Amino acid sequence: MRRILYIEDDLDIGLIVQSHLTGRGFAVDWLRSGDGATERVADADLVILDVMLPGLDGFTVGQRLKRIAPDKPILMLSARSTIDDKLEGLQFADDYMTKPFHPDELAARIEVLLRRNGKADNQGQIKLGHLDIDLSKPMFIDQRSGEEIILTGKQLQIFLYLLRHPNQILTKEQIYEAVWGEPSWDGDKTLNVHIRYLREKIEINPSSPAIVETIRGIGFRVKQ
Amino acid sequence: MNRLLNWLSDARRSLVSRYVILMSVAVILIPLAIIVVVTALFLIYPPYEKEYAVYGGAIELENKWHSEVKSLGGKPDEVIQQRLEKLYKRYNKATIYWVNSAGDTQLQLPSDAKIQQHWTAADAMQFMKERPGSDELFTIVAFIGDQPSEGFIILEVPRTVITPTFKNTTFAKYWSFAFPALLLIILLLFIGASWLFFYRISRRLLRMQKAMTSSAAAFPGIPGRITVGKQDEIGRLEFAFNTMIGQLEHGRLRETEEEHLRRQLIANLSHDLRTPLTAIRGHAFQLNEEQLSSRGRESLQVIDRKVDYLSRLIDNLLSYTLLSAGRYPYRPEVIDMNRLLRQLCANWYAAFEQQGIELELDAPDHSFRWEIDPQWMERIADNLFQNILRHASAGGYALVRLYEWEGSGYISFVDHGPGMDSESDEAGSGIGLNIVKLMAKEMGLQLTIDSSTAGTRITLQGLNQI
């Protein structure tokens, strides 16, 4: 079971979020202030942190937690919505969500953060169209034939990057920079070429792709 | 009495009185100095040749000669002769004739002097008439003793030895340039003192000017304090200047405090409004999990939508307040607009998809760059997208188009909705567009809005960066 350390002082919101996340199969450790958070962060897979807290504010608590456990994803969940607040929060936090949030969106963002951190709920087992995917290996099996699909280095990196950000539209610059590790330049077609080769391997019909979706002019998306 | 003393001590500290003193000294000193200089020059370099000093002036010589000769009255001839020879040694430029009571020339010094040997009364008369008028010789005729009968002694000296001459004397040599030179030095001293007086004033004024245009580290835009020098008019000005700086600093401090408080207040207000909204949404969501009629679910959807709307409104109100007060943080950088707009479209795509709106991005291969704050641009795009979602979803289509024309970049947000004049069920979108207008203006972008019943096109035009 995946554990979430939730720090929130508002009783109403706290109860709703706790019950919602518990209903989705998370173990929620809810604190009403930042006191004791540093002792309990080790047991959690993810931290949800409010900003306005009695005693130490959320930014300070978050920075402390990040110092103790740098790998632990922190999601700021705050009613403070100014750019300055967001920028301050994102200096250490992995995500910043403003209230009033949608409970489903919160759950989705938690999933994304956990998956990025290798804590997916299905231990990396995904079914996607005709593909069985095991992210932990990683391995891709065509359900129809039971055969493994072998991807080249760049194809694998591109596909994994899309899989780790499910339902998110990733621009070509984002993908290029994540995979190649260098800034992309205007009119570069390298990524398109690699996507075409990737689709030839994983799509049933590469000319009308069902797994890696093209969002015209914007980027690519893998829906789950 | 006290008031007089005060006035005096004030006067000493005043520039005006110092200037008056300077001028008075000059007015009194210049003539005085001229007198002193002239006297000194006469003493050091008398206007006579030194060797002629023994003769003195004409009157002095005449008086001396008369009394000398008078004292010889009744003396034997030998004594007179000795005396005259002695006198001749002293007045060696002179010629001396002694005519005795008989009218004969008894002695002439030097002996080769040409003079008649016998004097009649007529001769004497003629001599007396002619000689004193001579240009070259100065003649004194003195009678021996009290009676003319004892004879007379004539002293003749060249006029040059008794007349002060300015030619070829040391006095003349020095005098001709010493007097003007000394006068010049005095004048220069006065000019120098005046110059120093005004130079020091000007230097202090310049120091103040420099201080006024400088900026202290602690308070940008406010000059630093200056050290007060003398207690005169400028000193008082410096003191007043420092007082003013103090007030400015105080004002700035209070202003930043108030600004901080206001921002804090707005931020807290926004926070306090959002917190209950979050609870409302949470409960609506929980309610949605229960068994509900379709009407109940519809109500929940309305609640959900209104929560969204309220939350955006709060956000926009907060932004608008800060923006119109010029307090919205602005951090411009040169931004690749293609890339930024692509990212923004990606963020919104899912929301458009959900509403059944096709969102398209039409961007050229070659991007253009603007110097803007990406956060502001994001805010602009968010508000425009939000408006399309809320008011123009009926059109089912939205286009973001980037293009270049004549050195300018253009970004158009196009929808096929019913246009801005149409009645919308969710009024109050004005503030979102107002923020767009304000932000565009602040960033130097031109905003054009074309709206008809066939749709709306909002275009931003900006100067491209090379």
Contact A186 B366 (CB under 8 A): yes
CB pairs < 8 Å spanning A and B:
114
Residues B137 and B174 in one domain: no
Domain shared by B20 and B156, yes or no = no
Question: B76 CB near a chain A CB, below 8 Å?
Answer: no
Contacts with A13 from chain B: Cβ below 8 Å: 275, 278-279, 282
How far, in Å, CA of B227 to CA of A54, rounded?
48
B62 and B199 within one domain: no
CA distance B86 to B92: 10
In chain B, what is the straight-line distance between the N-terminal and C-terminal CA atoms, in Å?
79
Compute the average pLDDT of residues A188-213: 91
Per the listing, tokens 């950088």 go with B333
Which residues in chain B touch residue A167, judged by CB atoms under 8 angstroms apart?
A: 350
Q: Please give the pLDDT value at position B19.
A: 85
Name which of A80, A99, A192 to mutate to probe chain B: the one with the most chain B Cβ atoms within 10 A of its Cβ.
A99
- State whether B286 and A19 contact (CB < 8 Å): yes
Look up residue B7 and give its two tokens: 């006035």
pLDDT average, residue stretch A106-134: 81
| Whole-number pLDDT of residue B208 | 84
- Total tally of structural domains belonging to chain B: 3
B21 and B104 both lie in a single domain = no
Does residue B444 sit within a domain?
yes
Residues B109, B37: one domain? no
Residue B133 lies in a domain: yes
This prediction has a pTM of: 0.61
List of chain A residues whose C-beta atoms are within 8 Å of the C-beta of residue B367: 186
Helix (H, G, I), strand (E, B) or coil at B75: coil
Neighbours of B392 (CB within 10 A): 24
User: Is B246 part of a structural domain of the chain?
Assistant: no
Nearest to B357 by CA among B395, B326, B384: B395
* Kind of pairing between the strands at B152-158 and A219-222: unpaired
Q: Which domain-ending residue is among B206, B228, B259?
A: B206
Q: How close A219 comes to chain B (CA, Å)?
A: 7
Partners of A212 in beta bridges:
A222
Domains of chain A: 2-116 (3.40.50.2300), 125-222 (1.10.10.10)
User: Does the beta-carbon distance from B342 to A16 stay under 8 Å?
Assistant: no
B118 plus B156 within the same structural domain: yes
**Least CA distance to B271: which residue of chain A?**
A79
Show which of residues 226-255 on chain B sit within 8 Å of chain A, judged by CB atoms.
none
User: Do B38 and B187 reside in the same domain of the chain?
Assistant: yes
B126 in reach of chain A (CB within 8 A): no
Structural domain containing residue B439 = 332-463
Question: What are the chain B neighbours of A90 within 8 Å (beta carbons)?
Answer: none
Could you tell me if B330 lies within 8 Å of chain A, comparing CB atoms? no
d(CA B419, CA A138): 51
Q: Residue A192: what residue type?
A: N
Query: Is B257 contained in some domain?
Result: no
Look-up of token digits 């246009």: B419
Minimal C-alpha gap between A147 and chain B (Å): 34
Chain A residues whose CB is inside 8 A of the B272 CB are: 79
Report the phi/psi class of residue A118: left, alpha or beta, with left for phi > 0 and alpha for psi in -120 to 50. left
At residue B169, the pLDDT reads: 58
- Residue B389 domain-assigned? yes
Q: Is residue B234 part of a domain?
A: no
Q: Give the strand order in the sheet containing A219-222.
A: A170-171, A219-222, A212-215
**How far is the C-alpha of B168 from the C-alpha of B166, rounded, in Å?**
6
CA distance B290 to B297: 10
- Nearest CA to A171 among A223, A218, A213? A218
Rg, C-alpha atoms of chain A: 20
Q: Both B78 and B15 in a single domain? A: no
Q: Say if residue A79's pLDDT is above 80.
A: yes
DSSP string, B168-220: SSHHHHHHHHHHHHHHHHHHHHHHHHHHHHHHHHHHHHHHHHHHHHS--SSST
Give the nearest partner residue to B274 out of A84, A100, A171, using CB atoms.
A100
**Is B305 within 8 Å of B355 (Cβ atoms)?**
no
Which CATH number is B386's domain given?
Answer: 3.30.565.10
- Using DSSP's 3-state secondary structure scheme, residue B365 falls into coil
**A81–B318 CB contact, under 8 Å:** yes
| Domain termination site, one of B148, B181, B206 | B206
Calpha distance B376→A12 (Å, rounded) = 33
Length of chain A: 224
Burial status of residue B141 (CB atoms within 10 A of its CB: 0-12, 13-18, 19 or more): buried
Q: Flag whether B376 is in a domain.
A: yes
CA dihedral (A187, A188, A192, A193) positive or negative: positive
Query: Between chains, do B346 and A219 touch, taking CB under 8 Å as contact?
Result: yes
Return the DSSP state at B221. T
Distances (CA, A) of A167 to A14, A119, B58, B420: 27, 18, 133, 32
- Beta carbons of B278 and A169 less than 8 Å apart: no
Is the distance from CB of A8 to CB of A50 less than 8 angstroms? yes
Chain A interface, mutation test: which of B263, B271, B310, most A Cβ atoms within 10 Å?
B271
Nearest to A105 by CA among A167, A159, A46, A59: A167
- Which residue in B has a C-alpha nearest to residue A221's C-alpha? B346
Q: Give the per-residue pLDDT at B227.
A: 83
B391 shares contact with chain A (CB less than 8 Å) = no
Task: Please tell me the distance in Å from B407's CA to the nearest CA on chain A.
Answer: 18
Q: Are residues B385 and B434 in the same domain?
A: yes
pLDDT at B428: 54
Q: Decide if B375 touches A, using CB distance below 8 A.
A: yes
Residues 6+ apart with CB under 8 A from A164: A112, A115, A116
**DSSP SS3 for B284:** helix
**Cβ-Cβ contacts under 8 Å, A215 against chain B:** 346, 349
Q: pLDDT tens digits for chain B (466 residues)?
A: 677 777 666 666 778 888 888 888 888 877 887 788 778 777 776 665 556 666 777 788 888 888 888 888 878 888 888 888 888 888 877 888 888 877 788 888 787 767 777 877 787 777 777 776 677 778 888 888 777 777 888 888 887 777 665 555 566 666 677 777 877 888 888 889 889 989 988 888 888 888 888 877 677 778 888 888 778 888 888 889 889 989 998 998 998 888 888 878 887 888 888 889 999 998 888 888 888 888 988 889 889 888 888 888 888 888 888 888 777 888 899 999 999 999 999 999 988 998 899 999 998 888 899 999 998 999 999 999 988 988 888 889 999 999 998 889 999 999 998 888 776 555 555 888 889 999 999 999 999 999 888 899 999 999 988 7
Same domain membership, residue B181 and residue B42: yes
Check if B274 contacts A (Cβ < 8 Å). yes
B327 close contact with A: CB closer than 8 A? no
Contact B269, A79 (CB under 8 A): no
Using DSSP's 3-state secondary structure scheme, residue A171 falls into: strand
Same domain, B185 and B90: no
Residue with token string 């209070």: B254
Model confidence over A162-177: pLDDT tens digits? 988 888 899 988 999 9
CB contact under 8 A, A217 and B311: no
Domain assignment present for B140: yes
Q: Identify whether residues B358 and B458 lie together within a single domain.
A: yes
The CATH number that applies at residue B82 is 3.30.450
Is the minimum CB–CB distance between B437 and chain A shorter than 8 Å?
no
Q: Residue A198's pLDDT is what?
A: 93
Taking residue A41's Cβ as centre, other Cβ atoms within 10 Å add up to 19
SS3 at position A34? coil
ipTM of this complex: 0.81
In the chain, the amino acid numbered B179 is F
Put simply, the answer to whether B315 touches A99 (Cβ < 8 Å) is no
Q: Which residues of A touch B359 (CB under 8 A)?
A: 218
CA dist., res. B33 & res. B325, Å (int): 71
- In the three-class reduction of DSSP (H, G, I as helix; E, B as strand; rest coil), residue A170 is classed as strand
In 3D, which of B32, B367, B157, B152 has the Cα closest to residue A185? B367
Both tokens of A72, joined, read: 């632990």
**Contact partners, residue B314, CB within 8 Å, separation at least 6:** A81, B270, B273, B274, B277
Q: Kindly provide the residue ranges of all beta strands, DSSP E only, lying in B74-136, ordered along the sequence.
A: 95-99, 105-109
Report CB contact under 8 Å: A80, B349: no
Q: Do B318 and A170 touch (CB under 8 A)?
A: no
CB of B211 closer than 8 Å to CB of B241: yes
Res B232: pLDDT: 83
Distance from the Cα of B316 to chain A's closest Cα (Å) equals: 10
Confidence (pLDDT) at A188 = 80
